[in-house]
Amino acid sequence: MVLSGLPLHSFTYRGFPPRKSGQRQRFLAVDKASPHTLIFYESPFRLVAFLADALAVYGDRPAALANDLTKFYEKMERGTLSSLFAAVDGVTLKGEYIVVIGGANEKYTEAVEADDDE
């Protein structure tokens, strides 16, 4: 959480999301309006699909992607969901991933609702 640069005052640990896209999007939608920072674990085999679904559900929120924390080659990337998606799309991924996504606030909620209206 601290490395993510996202708010620490409240967070929700969600663990591993479902494997299938439809189920995963419903799982993510439960927290769409939550103001809490969200924490997910994901395998390297489903990370790209997870980020695509998170982007579809939450909009382009601030996020962080951590890989192999506490190991010599640990990596942390910060940005938006779309920039993290672009960074891993088409790349061979290894290790365990933690995805931290900023909670809903008016700035992000309005952008997502405008997209939903179209």
> In a structure prediction context, what are the per-residue pLDDT tens digits for the chain, which is 118 residues long?
777 878 888 888 898 999 999 999 999 999 999 999 999 999 999 999 999 999 999 999 999 999 988 788 888 999 999 999 999 998 999 989 999 999 997 554 444 455 545 5
* Residues ≥6 apart with Cβ < 8 Å to 45: 93
Quick one: pLDDT at residue 36?
92
Query: Which residue segments constitute the domains of the chain, with CATH numbers given?
Result: 2-117 (3.30.950.10)
